[in-house]
Amino acid sequence: QKLLDAAGELMRGQGYGAMSVAGICELAGVRKGSFYHFFDSKQVLAVEALRAAWAAEEALWKEILRSSGRPLHRLERLLLAHAARNASAPRQARERLRPRLPLRQPRPGTRRPGRNRPRVPRRDLRPAGLPGARRPARSRRTRAHPQG
């Protein structure tokens, strides 16, 4: 259980790619040899940690959604409970979930790259064989020519 809890905490905080068996064992207070006694690999532990996390989350969802009240109020309670559980998550995890928005607006009168370009009509790329279809011209740059 210590290993599952440690793996879940590290995955929420750092992501799967950044967590290591040594880091999991250190956080759980378990020796590395003990890790391999219980789990064959980091991948197996990650799957089990995700199953355990989903089981806890599923129980909360079922409890709230099966309670009495109007559907909209139950959904609101579910979202508030989910937000409260994730409020204690590390800052890095919250940053990953936050939508990426521009930090500042461009100054008036400045052009942003890729904007204000004239629109170029696209060629008709319908498959050949349909009435009125044209095949796009092939570019020499995309063909491979053997040397020699």
Mean pLDDT of 69-81: 89
For residue range 111-140, what is the model confidence (pLDDT) as tens digits?
Answer: 555 555 555 555 544 555 555 555 555 555
Say how far apart CA 7 and CA 22 lie, in whole Å. Answer: 11
pLDDT at 92 over 70: no
For residue range 13-68, what is the model confidence (pLDDT) as tens digits?
Answer: 888 888 889 999 998 899 888 888 899 999 999 999 999 988 988 998 899 989 99
Go through the domains of the chain in sequence order and give each one's CATH number. 2-97 (1.10.357.10)
Cα angle 78, 82, 85 (rounded to 5 degrees) comes to: 140
Say how far apart CA 138 and CA 148 lie, in whole Å. Answer: 23
Residues across the chain: 148
Say how far apart CA 52 and CA 12 lie, in whole Å. Answer: 13
Per-residue model confidence (pLDDT) at position 70:
92
| 121 burial level (CB within 10 Å; 0-12, 13-18, 19+) | exposed
